[in-house]
Amino acid sequence: MSVATAKILDGKALAQKIQNNLKAQIPTLQEQIGRSPGLAVLMVGDNPASAAYVRNKEKACINVGMASFGRHFPTETTQTELESVIHELNQDSRVDGILVQLPLPKHLDAVSLLHQIDPDKDADGLHPTNLGKLVRGEMGLRSCTPAGVMELLKEYNISVQGKHSVVIGRSILVGKPLALMLLEENATVTVAHSRTIDLASMTRQADILIPAVGKPNLITKDMVKPGAIVIDVGINRVVDEVTPKGRLVGDVAYDEVAQVAEYITPVPGGVGPMTVAMLLQNTFLSYKKKVT
């Protein structure tokens, strides 16, 4: 078997660097504003994956010197109750960022809840106002995972200008905002999805390939152009005989694709940590606005 040659895009290391920068900047602003930045993460129910993400976010908050106003609600919490909590947090001067942890239990309307968040406190960058600013190329809070992908490319001096970027997935969380961010940096962008005919012929044209689907081993070696940059946004828990307790894998068959790609992100340790770092960054940007 040939040895993997791709260089690793280390999201974990970059996320740590971003967190260290925030940790260094917060004390100075704290003197002027009179408090530390605050992030409120709202979680409903007991989805174990969501609980793990929320713990990571709250831990990261405390590490950089942010106040965490995390609220965990029972599964049966109503839409009205959550909306009233969001309205309170919108008014709370200690809170700079609000995030509703997705997915929510089926009886709740996530879109409607996101609409209730003050766009200036929209730490996840998913409010229509912030997505509209992205479409128009205006300053605004950016969706965390796509922004994390762009930061990773920047950190490794990978220019996307003029390059063919293929994004697989068209979700409002990743695919659509990422395509817009790549366009903003002058990439030529193709968005593929579950209805795309002959996906492999599309992916083989990609200078930059970014799957964000949630399907293990979707991208195999024969689907990747030699020398491509592969950024794996997928996170899937796989349980098999080797790992009965389960392990995390991406959408890319990592070992084989690493033999042909020039750069690749690992899962875990690639895009995941960057999502949390950008969440903190967004909260900090909202906080910074308080300095008059």
Q: State the catalytic residues.
A: 57, 101, 124
Can you list the alpha helix ranges (DSSP code H) found in 98-234?
Answer: 110-116, 128-136, 144-155, 175-184, 199-203
Is 35 annotated in a binding site? The answer is no
Is 170 annotated in a binding site? The answer is yes
Is 169 annotated in a binding site? The answer is yes
Is 195 annotated in a binding site? The answer is no
C-alpha separations of 196 from 165, 169, 191 in Å: 16, 10, 9
Q: CA-CA distance, 17 to 11, in Å (whole number)?
A: 10
CB 141 within 8 A of CB 119: yes
Q: Which residues pair with 230 in a beta bridge?
A: 209, 264
Other Cβ atoms less than 10 A from the Cβ of 72: the count is 15
Tokens in use for 280?
A: 């903190």
Annotated binding site for NADP(+): 169-171, 235
